[in-house]
Chain A
Amino acid sequence: MSDDDSPRRLRRNLLTAIGGLLLGGCDALSRTEWFPRILRVGEDLSRRVQHAVTARKSMAQEFSERDLSPSFRSNGTANPDDNDYQALARDGFSDWRLRVDGLVEQPMGFSLQQLRSMRSRVQITRHDCVEGWSAIGKWKGVPLGEVLALVRPTVAARFVVFHCADPMDPAGTKYYESIDMEDAYHPQTILAYELNDASLPIGNGAPLRVRIERQLGYKMAKYIMRLQLVDSFAAIGQGRGGYWEDQGYEWYAGI
């Protein structure tokens, strides 16, 4: 049967046209304001159902040393293109201070040495990226709850916002993320300063990154400079609670 067998070609062209129309329709719907809002009902339902079926302090799986990935992939920013950060890195972060402020009774600053002297937790966990890959690493850090106990959040505090050193675009927008108090006080939520028994490498967020083991990788901010306790993140960035959230990703990254 040749190509100019017209009923057959007509049918094929018709099918291609219908397919193209449907695909084009999906693209067009994706670009509207209103349609993605409807689609997001699905992720909202996931958040509700996942919170309903798991306990507030349910633990993510922990692994053994033989499960460690040979090297832990650096993703997103590999080395912040920022003069202040580079100056801190040159001195081994000796001048770096973690500022903790916002809705707290006692705003404080912490040096890396101070954080290292606090109670620590070691955990071998799986890092799940929104892209689909996973890597297993051994993290050591101070539970975020320990730091919060010192600064004493006020009753109005609902979220912890992580302000980071890495610029994400030519305009210099810095990475930021946020979590609720339930995740902030989760035992596996730690401010990690070690990866695989060595100081946290720059590629993985030196000097400090957060681990939030029941959510995807983009929640786990690297290069943390400041923690801010807030009752709303509407006034921060574009108001969606994080750099990637401002690009359309969900604030709740439990799946």
Chain B
Amino acid sequence: MLDAESLAAPRPDRAARGYLYHRHALIVRITHWINAIALAILLMSGLNIFNAHPSLSWGRSSYSNRAPIFETGAATAADGRLIGTTRIFNRNFDTTGVLGVSSDGGRQVVKGFPSWITVPSFAWLAMARHWHFFFAWLLVINGCVYLAFSIFSRHLAHDLLPTKLDWRSVGHSIIDHVRFRHPTGVAATRYNVLQKVAYLAVILVLVPLMILTGSAMSPRLDSLQPGWIELLGGRQSARTLHFAVAWTLVLFVLVHVFEVLVSGVWNNLRSMITGRYRIPPDPG
């Protein structure tokens, strides 16, 4: 959490020496790391589940007169070698080694996503489902704790909602990001506008969408209000969206980790572990 008091008036002696600033509240730090673990397991167990039927369709069922949007498969070459294929819309790609066919324990095997990105590392649908649903609930409960804290402590209103000033600085912020220029002084105690928008998108759009599209695949929750999953385009569309939003979250994590790395990795990591972020001495 950002401490408004120290923001307003860093004392001159502190500014000259540099100091440790309390950047993240304990609950934010704990929920952050639980999220990190849960998202990793959810992705990897989810890909194991995907491998049981490595095909995505749009619509109510998988067997309509429409071809799948995305599908991995395997073919045998003339010399007996296995070739992994991936079909995206109407185009086929040779993805041997990664999608369709990959090595598992030194052997080439037919599987959607490779071993190194699935939990468990081999085809085991029942177990992947145990992992997936446990960590799904952990993510939901953890998210509720975070959200409740953020609303009541005004973390959401103070630190995450972009201000008018923020919106005016969007252009600047984009240029700063592209040039890998990051504030190090007092400005680093506040989230920049792109950061705020990205975090809010994850918290309020992407994760809720994951829960919604995941629930839409449940035949029991289907009966909540017969037809509600039509809003997502039907069950197979919901499954496709679940997959697409998952990879959007992966994209967020990649950018997030990249920004952490280029804007002072140890200082950032410390602030997410102990809460303290070093404000360097004022060069002026």
Which A residues contact B (CB, under 8 angstroms)?
A: 19, 23-24, 26-27, 30, 36, 38-43, 45-46, 50, 53-54, 58-63, 67, 69-73, 126, 128-136, 213-216, 244, 247-250, 253-255
Tell me whether A43 and B133 are in contact (CB under 8 A): yes
| A133-B226 contact, Cβ under 8 Å, with A45-B137, A126-B235 | no
Contact of A40 among B115, B130, B215, B227 (CB under 8 A): B130
- Chain A's closest residue to B224 (CB) is A54
Tell me whether B227 and A61 are in contact (CB under 8 A): yes
Tell me whether B220 and A214 are in contact (CB under 8 A): yes
Tell me whether A248 and B236 are in contact (CB under 8 A): no
- Chain B's closest residue to A215 (CB) is B219
What is the bound-complex CA distance between A3 and B227, given in angstroms?
56
- Contacts of A39 on B, CB cut-off 8 Å? 130-131, 133-134
- Contacts of A69 on B, CB cut-off 8 Å? 61-64
What is the bound-complex CA distance between A53 and B50, given in angstroms?
27
Contact of A42 among B133, B219, B236 (CB under 8 A): B133
- Contacts of A38 on B, CB cut-off 8 Å? 134
| A132-B239 contact, Cβ under 8 Å, with A59-B226, A215-B219, A247-B126 | yes
Interface extent on B, as a size class? 35 or more
- Chain A's closest residue to B56 (CB) is A132
Which B residues contact A (CB, under 8 angstroms)?
A: 41, 44, 49-50, 52-53, 55, 60-65, 115-116, 119-122, 124-127, 129-138, 215, 217-224, 226-227, 229, 235-236, 239
What is the bound-complex CA distance between A159 and B129, given in angstroms?
25
Least Cβ–Cβ distance between A251 and chain B, in angstroms: 12
Tell me whether A58 and B224 are in contact (CB under 8 A): yes
Least Cβ–Cβ distance between A189 and chain B, in angstroms: 12
CB pairs A–B below 8 angstroms (13 shown): A19-B116, A24-B121, A36-B130, A42-B137, A50-B220, A54-B220, A61-B227, A69-B61, A72-B63, A136-B61, A214-B222, A249-B126, A255-B220
- Contacts of A24 on B, CB cut-off 8 Å? 121
What is the bound-complex CA distance between A23 and B120, given in angstroms?
7
Tell me whether A254 and B50 are in contact (CB under 8 A): no
- Contacts of B126 on A, CB cut-off 8 Å? 244, 247-250
19 additional A-B pairs beyond A70-B65, A214-B222, beta carbons within 8 Å, are A30-B120, A42-B137, A43-B133, A60-B219, A126-B222, A128-B217, A132-B217, A133-B53, A134-B60, A134-B235, A134-B236, A135-B61, A136-B63, A215-B219, A248-B130, A250-B129, A254-B218, A255-B215, A255-B221
Least Cβ–Cβ distance between B282 and chain A, in angstroms: 34
- Contacts of B129 on A, CB cut-off 8 Å? 43, 130, 249-250
Tell me whether B120 and A27 are in contact (CB under 8 A): yes
What is the bound-complex CA distance between A19 and B222, given in angstroms?
38
- Contacts of B116 on A, CB cut-off 8 Å? 19, 23
What is the bound-complex CA distance between A126 and B227, given in angstroms?
12
- Contacts of A42 on B, CB cut-off 8 Å? 130, 132-138
Contact of A63 among B60, B115, B124 (CB under 8 A): B60
- Contacts of A62 on B, CB cut-off 8 Å? 226
Least Cβ–Cβ distance between A66 and chain B, in angstroms: 10
Least Cβ–Cβ distance between A8 and chain B, in angstroms: 15
What is the bound-complex CA distance between A130 and B119, given in angstroms?
17
Contact of B133 among A46, A70, A133, A135 (CB under 8 A): A46
- Contacts of B130 on A, CB cut-off 8 Å? 36, 39-40, 42-43, 248
Tell me whether B137 and A215 are in contact (CB under 8 A): no
| A131-B217 contact, Cβ under 8 Å, with A19-B116, A41-B134 | no
Tell me whether B63 and A61 are in contact (CB under 8 A): no
Least Cβ–Cβ distance between A6 and chain B, in angstroms: 21
What is the bound-complex CA distance between A231 and B173, given in angstroms?
66
What is the bound-complex CA distance between A216 and B221, given in angstroms?
12
What is the bound-complex CA distance between A244 and B134, given in angstroms?
20
Least Cβ–Cβ distance between B121 and chain A, in angstroms: 5
Least Cβ–Cβ distance between A137 and chain B, in angstroms: 9
- Contacts of A247 on B, CB cut-off 8 Å? 126
Least Cβ–Cβ distance between A75 and chain B, in angstroms: 11
Contact of A27 among B65, B121, B239 (CB under 8 A): B121
- Chain A's closest residue to B55 (CB) is A133
Contact of A60 among B53, B135, B138, B222 (CB under 8 A): B222
Least Cβ–Cβ distance between B168 and chain A, in angstroms: 41
Of A19, A39, A134, most buried by chain B (CB within 10 Å of CB) is A134
Contact of B53 among A23, A129, A136 (CB under 8 A): A129
What is the bound-complex CA distance between A56 and B52, given in angstroms?
31
| A59-B61 contact, Cβ under 8 Å, with A23-B119, A42-B133, A132-B52 | no
